[in-house]
Amino acid sequence: MGPADRLAGLRARQVVDCRGQAVLPGLVDGHTHLYQALFRGLGEGLSIVPWLCTFMWPVSIAVTGEDAEAGARLAAAEALRAGITTVVDNHYAPTDLATVLRVAAVVEQAGLRGAVARGIVGERTPLAARRGQPDALFRHSSAEELELTREAVRRHPPGSKVEVWPAPLNLTYVGQDLVRAAVELAEELGTRWHTHCCEGSGDPAGYAEEYGVRPVAWLAAQGLLDARATLAHAVWLDEREIAQVGAAAAGVAHNPVSNAYLASGTAPLGALRAAGATVALGSDGPACGHRQDLFECMKQTVLNQRLHTLDPTVLRARDALEMATREGARYAGVDAGRLEPGRLADVIAVDLERSHLQPVHDVESTLVYAARGSDVVLTVVDGRIVHRDGHCVRVDERAAAAEVRQRAGELLARAGVPAGPAGPSPAPRPTR
């Protein structure tokens, strides 16, 4: 890419005809759990804490390294098909070194770039016990967590196509000392760090009851909140915390589909962006986001914000596109997100000639409100085609799906979790 006179003498090895297509930067998924492809469609009818305690933790504890690798492979292919070129995969089941390295290898082999944010939990805290987190979730001591993470980062250091980041799994139930140590480890190693932040409505109050302070306010007071922080969800922040996140230029991954699915709430995006936060979009994994589809997330982001504020100008299509591309790239620390000379060659093409996209009066509106991930016909990462016309070049999707189907059935049986709705049945409607 560059001025026409500089490109005139070049001869391409391969020419791709993109007439009738929108060419744009690759999309950045700021928060996902790739291994959760094993659980797609389960956990129906539950809010966040019951969903975690009665569904997600039991099945996650039963996941093997081979299961996680299989789930990540299928979800990585799904992401590429939908035009996602960078992922932040918050991996936490299981987190032994071999599994973390295998998941990172699967992500890279598929053709994606990004980070595997290794989930850190350490010892079970009193707050975790009160929330119903089972003992089996806490497999490593704090010292072991830090050493495992250090070694994983050493194998995938900053600048790798797929990095590893420290990720204290949730600010609410990971102990303060371990959160501090994980953030300090990220600073020492030069990486970003990742965490779930104030996703549920009860998170800040529960934390304040235990520690006498809200979680984000504590991070800020300890000097731990900075531009390397990537906070998933950040739904239940007060005005002071919003200002603190913005002043630190911290990153926030907004997950509109999972927030709605789990009835978690609507994040204060307008206030966060105005304060100076870098806001990316996240699919939040197939277990509660159901699809690795940032087109769906872009649309839901705009619609949810308008519904919540009753203001049709609070967010526009262009804002959603920026969060999925340039803001997402800044959040993830990758030199992408724009189509301009010198940037990483992460590019996608969307077929605009499909019936549900015609006529195209405004390309931005069409992409955000009418397009879906399946309309992506070309995905290029690092200048290499990794998906074209529904075919992932580096992944045997049929074999990957077959393996996940088999493993998912065996996994649910091991975990003792039924396949089907988990929540209470809706009340019967009155008859006339």
**How is residue 301 written in tokens?**
């982001």
pLDDT tens across 329-352, in order? 999 999 999 999 999 999 999 999
Band (1; pLDDT cuts 50, 70, 90) = confident
- Check residue 3 and give its pLDDT: 79
Q: Which residue has the higher pLDDT, 349 or 12?
A: 349
**How far apart (Å, rounded) are the C-alpha atoms in residues 397 and 386?**
13
What angle do the packed helices 142-155 and 176-189 form, to 10 degrees? 20
- Check residue 9 and give its pLDDT: 80
Task: Name the H helices within 111-255.
Answer: 126-131, 142-155, 176-189, 203-211, 215-221, 239-247
User: Pairing state of beta strands 113-120 and 162-168?
Assistant: parallel
What angle do the packed helices 317-324 and 294-309 form, to 10 degrees? 130
- Check residue 432 and give its pLDDT: 44
- Check residue 421 and give its pLDDT: 61
Band (7; pLDDT cuts 50, 70, 90) = confident
**How far apart (Å, rounded) are the C-alpha atoms in residues 171 and 219?**
9
**How far apart (Å, rounded) are the C-alpha atoms in residues 117 and 100?**
9
- Check residue 2 and give its pLDDT: 77
3-state secondary structure of 354: coil
Amino acid occupying residue 340: E
| Distances from the Cα of 218 to the Cα of 171, 198, 205, 276, angstroms | 10, 13, 13, 19
For 66, other C-beta atoms within 10 Å of its C-beta total: 12
Asked if residue 248 lies in contact with residue 216, where contact means CB atoms within 8 angstroms, the answer is no
pLDDT tens across 289-344, in order? 999 999 999 999 999 999 999 999 999 999 999 999 999 999 999 999 999 999 99
Please compute the mean of the pLDDT values over residues 42-51 and round it to a whole number: 93
Band (12; pLDDT cuts 50, 70, 90) = confident
- Check residue 238 and give its pLDDT: 98
**How is residue 229 written in tokens?**
């922080």
- Check residue 27 and give its pLDDT: 99
Q: Is the pLDDT of residue 154 over 80?
A: yes
Asked if residue 29 lies in contact with residue 324, where contact means CB atoms within 8 angstroms, the answer is no
For 185, other C-beta atoms within 10 Å of its C-beta total: 20
- Check residue 8 and give its pLDDT: 81
3-state secondary structure of 377: strand
The one-character DSSP state at 423 is S
Burial call 217-229: b when 16+ CB within 10 Å, e when fewer: bbbbeeebbbbbb
pLDDT tens across 174-184, in order? 999 999 999 99
**How far apart (Å, rounded) are the C-alpha atoms in residues 22 and 329?**
19
pLDDT tens across 358-371, in order? 999 999 999 999 99
The mean of the pLDDT values for the chain is: 96
pLDDT tens across 163-222, in order? 999 999 999 999 999 999 999 999 999 999 999 999 999 999 999 999 999 999 999 999
Please compute the mean of the pLDDT values over residues 392-421 and round it to a whole number: 93
Asked if residue 61 lies in contact with residue 411, where contact means CB atoms within 8 angstroms, the answer is no
- Check residue 426 and give its pLDDT: 53
Please compute the mean of the pLDDT values over residues 412-428 and round it to a whole number: 72
Residue ranges of domains in the chain, CATH in brackets? 17-415 (3.20.20.140)
